[in-house]
Chain A
Amino acid sequence: MMKVSRRGFLKATGLVVIGLVAKPLFDTLSRLELPQLSARLGTLTGKRLAMVINLKACLAKDGCSDCIEACHRIHNVPDFGNPKDEIKWLRTVPYEDAFPELKHEFIAKGLKGLPTLVLCNHCANPPCVQVCPTGATWKREDGIVMQDYHRCIGCRYCIAACPYGSRSFNWRDPVPFIKEINFGFPIRTRGVVEKCNFCEERLAKGLPPACVEACWEKKVLIFGNLEDPNSNIREILHLHYSLQRKPYLGTNPQVYYIIT
């Protein structure tokens, strides 16, 4: 057997390391464009869709439900008529339930019990995505938390993970409880989870989300791209004091509320 000296061994090892590292190092150093960061890592590539809800301007307190009706009609959301089976896309809850950490004894008169629109927050750090075992829910590059009904196995981990109750399970066949079926959007079956999708199918056609369109004149709902510094939504967030739901959980919701 050939004798290898310690010095000879170290030399050979050094050569091998140089051989392995040279190509990747050259590729990295010679690259001209900057690395693109992915939305999944918490940084976005140029689009970050978000919504602002102007609570004081919202007429839900006077019984207006235009946005909810538009959303539910377009997305074939069934109405089971009981809260246990309810499928939740867009709905109202009392202000102190939407923001439980802001609840106290002397809450402002106008805010106490104020019907507050709630929907999927399309969190920048969505816990539902982390727990989904099949990849049926994921975060798109533009920030939308998507749900693929084809891959959903109905395990309901995401429902447990979502701190906002934005996800619902189809315990029963929803079809008999849909008032009028919109053939342009799929219905769901028993055994899948569903939630608000920020109207991604409408955005793809260049249309605003259905709720925003239904409330176009009142300007209660403002939808836009937070990455664009000149966007309307950025200006509104710049000018107003805004709230997120349960921000201390670290989910970074992309639905903002203004109450002034």
Chain B
Amino acid sequence: MYDADKIITGLIIFLCLITFPIYYNIATGKAAYRPEPKIVTEEKQCVESKGYMRAKHMDLLEEWRESVVREGKRVYVASDGKQYTMSLVDTCMRCHWNKAEFCDLCHNYVGIRLNCWSCHTLPKRD
């Protein structure tokens, strides 16, 4: 390669420049906007642990849906032995009624479009 040292230096400078916004954001602490869904309930414990719900809520909801609609089984036994009625509107949304600040906040951020709410509806609440 001719002028290897110039080209490589140039490439390094180019990479530094193009990734500068990332380092800048990390350094100033603005890094990353993180959606902070609001939890408005007095309840201390969700159906499962917080970590599990964060990672797997979609799988849990799908399991609930299949169980209720296809098999007619409506009671969920959580890993701590507590029993819950499997219902999006009656169970999940009883605590997380602030859909706009809870569900939508993250889903909008990561660009996920759900069609739950085209049929499942919530009463208006302040």
- A interface list, Cβ under 8 A from B: 138, 140, 146, 148-150, 181, 183-184, 186-189, 200, 204
Contact = CB atoms under 8 A, between A and B. Distances in A.
B119 A187 contact: yes
A137 to B, nearest CB: 11
Interface stretch (B1-9, B35-43, B67-75, B105-113): B67-75
A188 B115 CA distance: 11
Interface of B: 65, 69-70, 72, 74, 89-90, 118-123
B119 A188 contact: yes
11 contacts: A148-B69, A148-B70, A150-B69, A181-B121, A183-B122, A184-B90, A186-B120, A187-B119, A200-B72, A204-B72, A204-B74
Contact of A189 (B72, B74, B119): B119
A178 B82 CA distance: 37
Main secondary structure of the interface of A (DSSP, over half): loop
Contacts of A200: 72
B108 to A, nearest CB: 21
A148 B74 CA distance: 15
Nearest to A200: B72
A110 B20 CA distance: 88
A145 to B, nearest CB: 13
A148 B72 CA distance: 12
Contacts of A183: 89, 121-123
Nearest to B124: A183
Contacts of B70: 138, 148
Contacts of A146: 69
A24 B72 CA distance: 32
Contacts of A204: 72, 74
B72 A186 contact: no
Contact of B72 (A140, A150, A181): A140
A233 to B, nearest CB: 21
6 tightest A-B CB contacts, nearest first: A186-B119, A189-B118, A183-B123, A148-B69, A186-B120, A187-B119
Nearest to B73: A204
Contacts of A184: 89-90
A149 B74 contact: no
Given A146-B69, A148-B69, A150-B69, A186 B74 contact: no
Contacts of B123: 183
Contacts of B90: 184
B119 to A, nearest CB: 4
B65 A150 contact: yes
A140 B69 CA distance: 10
B119 A149 contact: yes
Given A183-B89, A183-B123, A184-B90, 20 more contacts: A138-B70, A140-B72, A146-B69, A148-B69, A148-B70, A150-B65, A150-B69, A183-B121, A183-B122, A184-B89, A186-B119, A186-B120, A186-B121, A187-B119, A187-B121, A188-B119, A189-B118, A200-B72, A204-B72, A204-B74
